[in-house]
Chain A
Amino acid sequence: MGLLLDFRYALRNIAKSMRFTLLMMFIMVGSLTISLIGFNYIYTVAFSHSQVGSGSPEIRIFKVRNPISMQNRFEYSMLPQLRELDEVKQLEEWLYIAPASVWVSDAERGNHYRGSYVDERFFQFLDIKPALGRFYTAEDFVGAAQNVVVISDYLWLHLFQGSKDVIGRTMVVDQKPYEIIGVMPKHNNFPIFSKLWLPLKGNNTAPTDAIDIIYKMPNETVEAKLEQRLSLFFTDYAQQRVSQSALEVDKTVRVESMTLVEYNTDGEAVFIFTLFMAGIVLILLISSINIGNLLFAKIIERQKESAIRAAIGAKKLRVVQQHACEGLIYCVSSWVVALLLTDLGLRALNFFMNMMFGGKMPYWWYWQLNTVTILVSLLLISLVFAIAVLLPAVKTANFNINDVLRDGTRGATGKQAGLMSKRLLSLQVTLVSFMLMASSTIGYVMYSMAGNIDGETLKGVYSTELQFQTESEFSSDKAVKMASALVVGMTLDPAFKEGRVYQREMELDVLTSEGEVYTDKIINIEAVSHLFKRELQSGRNFTAQDNTEAAPVVIISQSLAHALFGSEEVLGRSLMLRDAKWPSAKIVGIAVDEMSVVASDRRHEVYFSFRQYAPKENAMAVKFITELPPSQSYEAFYRVLGRLSSKLETSYIFDHYDNHRSMMGAFTSIIYVFLIVGGFALTLSLIGIYAMGLSNINKSSYEIGIRRALGSKDRQIMLLFIKKNLTHTVTGLTISALIFYILCYLAVDFFRGIVPFSVMFGAGSITLLLVFAAVCLALYIPVKRSIKVQPAVSLRME
């Protein structure tokens, strides 16, 4: 009964102050909507599962993390044994896929695409029908059968212009002809980014090719057992192949089952998700405080009324209820509006993302208002209700009836209540300015980092990794021979400007003259082939004579030479080593520092001769520079590779320029996100601060009236009231600045000096000043307005 009355009264109050109501709703709906859309966006990207067919269970992939194996994967040769495992047999639906990067070419051009070698159950497993042609039958997997391929919608449109007679045409994949038998329906680029599907069979697969096991998750216990069994299986298998001594104690094999998305991001999505959620909660917290402060001010305005109610017998709970009712109405209606807006926003997001990245993003990224989002919205609105409604309602119900009623000054608030509202203001300013300082600094640092990179220097730079087809073909001697042949081949071919074969990330330490391990900066240690010409400051490059018969030699970078020997003559001295083939090597050359693309010199370089430090494992890194467009560069590289006496394989070619461009794109979009989110948070809280100032002034307009009637000039009034709020604003700014600068100070160490303190300090301080100016303005406008009315008017106001 009482509740109903309270609701009616609350509704009347809301209707009475429409402007205030709209302001509140705007802040609440705005922050809730942006939080929900943000949440849904990240959640969909990070955690949505690929589901094939409707209602089918979530699909998982096994990934093996085995430090001994090159590939960290199951291999094709393990398949027969894998199939026989009871735990695998128990799975109702499972299949294996070999992800690959394939080279698709015709007479003029060629390109790399992500593709998958799949088994015969693949399309049943996915439960989809071809858009055109047919999918595989059992005959396609017989060794002698004609090679066939199913292409994606994307390839169909890009290579064949969507022509209907594509079926039956021939496509050259990895230099072999394949007949196109079917086109996959739009967006089904399973798994992740596959653009074409080839039958996985003996004649197109090496025993060492990596395969992934994909299954529909039956239930937790079956999965746990499977995981255990596979782990055991893998360990056994590895032990059979690798000598016991190579299995070190800490190098344990781990098998993980991951959703497709986790698999694609190596689990990083979870971290990013958490980070973004923190941001979302921060925005919501800021606006909750905002709303709380506004409601609080509103309640205070009616404190006299509450006191009268209490005087005639209202219990404290009843007074709280009275105020909470109004807040509840705001919350519920904002929640409904926010859900509607979120739904609209997500539809727009879906449309936009598909327009921009259609075909390039996983097909199961579909943003929509789902149960999780609705649950989160409930959680968030409860949080808002607790912080913004209950807290102020309870806090303000603790008044002394007598004090309030006796006060002949009307609209009296009491010192206590005013203090709380001002503390909330401080807190709000702290959060907003901290968030803005952090995001503007990150944005600025990213922007300047991106700006520092001279993308043009990366044009035509490619790297790749080469392997012998089987482990048995590999030997260190053969690797050295092949490397020389490859470098000679690239040197003779006019397509190449530069080419080098090298061994990366060699695990050995450089010692200082005191015999301690040098740790001041990271040292890049590589073994490079002899024809590789490094720009030297003095000394010489490696020659064919720097082989295992000759004394060990080394080339070090200028900066390391200076760090180790100062200004002394360095050429001819020995570089002391640990965990290396030799305890020391003679320095024969000083190389000009290799500039990192991100920051100027932050590493030292040490080069050994490839002939003296031949690879012990079946892997060689290659870097080459051409002046041709990508597809011709790839072709040129395959040409040289084809002329070698042993067959070397590569699974990818990394285009540095292309990567740089997509990185820049990612940077730019992150900066935009920061700008939008930061700007939104600032706008919200400025509106809040403005409204708070307004209600503060309204509350004080009586006092302002008195002061003016007594002869105070307008300027004095403005100063007085700005000063009143400014103390708390400045407190907030100071706290956030302190936290921020301390974090920056710590971050400098963390980033190893890539981002200097002065840069972070500068970016943060400029933001701080801007926030300060904006806050002052938000506080100034309401006072300015209140001075426009005649003192007699404000004196009459109740």
Chain B
Amino acid sequence: MNSVIQLNNIEKRFQTDEIATQALDGINLVVEPGEFVAITGPSGCGKSTLLSILGLIDEPSNGEYFISGNQAFNLSSDERAHIRANHIGFIFQAFNLISDLNVLENVMLPLTYIGGISQKEMEQKAKDALAMVGLENRINHFPSQLSGGQQQRAAVARALINSPDLILADEPTGNLDSNNAQQVLGLLSELHAAGKTICMVTHDIESTTYASRVISMLDGTILRDKKQLERASKVVGA
């Protein structure tokens, strides 16, 4: 079986007017199916950039990326979109909800891009996903009418609705209190237990304990990469 993610010497440079930033500098990484990877590191070390490349919403300046064994470089923009819609769930650092759509519509959005699902079914799925994150009585609110934590949870629901194989989460608990954070992390580890592959960026040492593998980054490179026993399974097992 192919690994979900294989990065060979990935580089990413940003060129602004005066300065060039080397956000990623030779990243080599293999993620196998069912892994729960936590990515940590100081602010600005390139975590979000790495996640964007993993999520096919940005392209590396250099290097190769194989997603489920396919060379990502060769994919057309429609094929990339197809993968994003069907196989990837993305939780953004800044929630990235669409302000003109209400919570239900926001959560349904990925399904509309998959196609072939009836409106009723989509609504049902969205409601289920929202119930999972405890937002079942906020479905007609607009993003501006939600608290920060609620917006974050709506974003999580949206990432899960297409039951993706790969979940990419950029600080999913950054805006949440410990109670809510626990809830979201619990959800992720349940998904992990169900066999999904997860990559999560986090600042928080506590959160990394849910992961099966912790990667530490510094200045665009991988500093440390270590596997560990995860806490979620311990909790579940206990």
Contacts and interface: CB of A to CB of B under 8 A. Distances in A.
B182 interface: no
Interface in A379-426: 403-404, 406-410, 412-415, 418
Interface in A608-660: none
B78 A713 contact: yes
Contact of B81 (A409, A418, A713, A792): A713
A409 B58 contact: no
B184 interface: no
B113 A407 contact: no
Interface stretch (A178-186, A553-561, A702-710): A702-710
Contact of B57 (A406, A407, A414, A792): A792
A712 interface: yes
A793 B58 contact: yes
Given A406-B144, A790-B58, A791-B58, A712 B85 contact: yes
A407 to B, nearest CB: 4
Q: What 7 pairs across the A-B complex have the smallest Cβ distances?
A: A711-B85, A792-B58, A711-B84, A791-B57, A409-B99, A792-B52, A407-B144
A408 B143 contact: yes
B59 interface: yes
A212 B13 CA distance: 86
A709 to B, nearest CB: 5
B99 to A, nearest CB: 4
B114 A408 contact: no
B151 A408 contact: yes
Given A407-B144, A415-B100, A711 B57 contact: no
A404 B143 CA distance: 11
B75 interface: no
Interface in A210-242: none
A548 interface: no
Contact of A408 (B53, B84, B148): B148
A716 interface: yes
A670 B169 CA distance: 67
A343 interface: no
Interface residues of A, number: 32
A795 interface: yes
Nearest to A402: B144
B229 interface: no
A710 B158 contact: yes
Nearest to A713: B81
Contacts of B99: 407, 409, 412-414
A708 B57 contact: yes
Interface in A702-733: 702-703, 705-716
Interface size range of chain B in the complex? 35 or more
A713 B88 CA distance: 14
Nearest to A715: B78
B22 interface: no
A413 B77 CA distance: 29
Nearest to B85: A711
B95 A408 contact: yes
B55 interface: yes
B88 to A, nearest CB: 7
Interface string A769-794: 00000000000000000010011110
Given A409-B97, A710-B110, A711-B81, A403 B59 contact: no
B210 to A, nearest CB: 24
B81 A708 contact: yes
Interface string B45-59: 000010011010111
Contacts of A407: 99, 143-144
21 contacts: A408-B95, A409-B98, A409-B99, A409-B144, A410-B94, A415-B100, A703-B98, A703-B100, A705-B57, A706-B97, A707-B113, A709-B90, A709-B96, A710-B84, A710-B90, A711-B113, A713-B77, A716-B113, A790-B57, A791-B57, A792-B58
A708 B85 CA distance: 9
Contacts of A702: 96
A707 B109 contact: yes
B227 interface: no
Contacts of B52: 792, 795
A795 B98 contact: no
Contacts of A707: 98, 109, 113
A468 B51 CA distance: 104
Interface centre among B55, B98, B110, B143 (most CB of A within 10 A): B98
Contacts of B77: 713-714, 787
A222 to B, nearest CB: 71
A724 B83 CA distance: 26
Contact of A412 (B82, B86, B110, B144): B144
Interface in A464-478: none
B36 interface: no
A413 B53 CA distance: 29
A714 B78 contact: yes
Nearest to B97: A409
Given A409-B143, A711-B88, 17 more contacts: A403-B144, A407-B143, A407-B144, A408-B97, A703-B100, A707-B109, A707-B113, A709-B55, A709-B57, A709-B92, A710-B110, A711-B86, A711-B113, A711-B114, A712-B81, A714-B77, A795-B57
Contacts of A713: 77-78, 81-82, 113
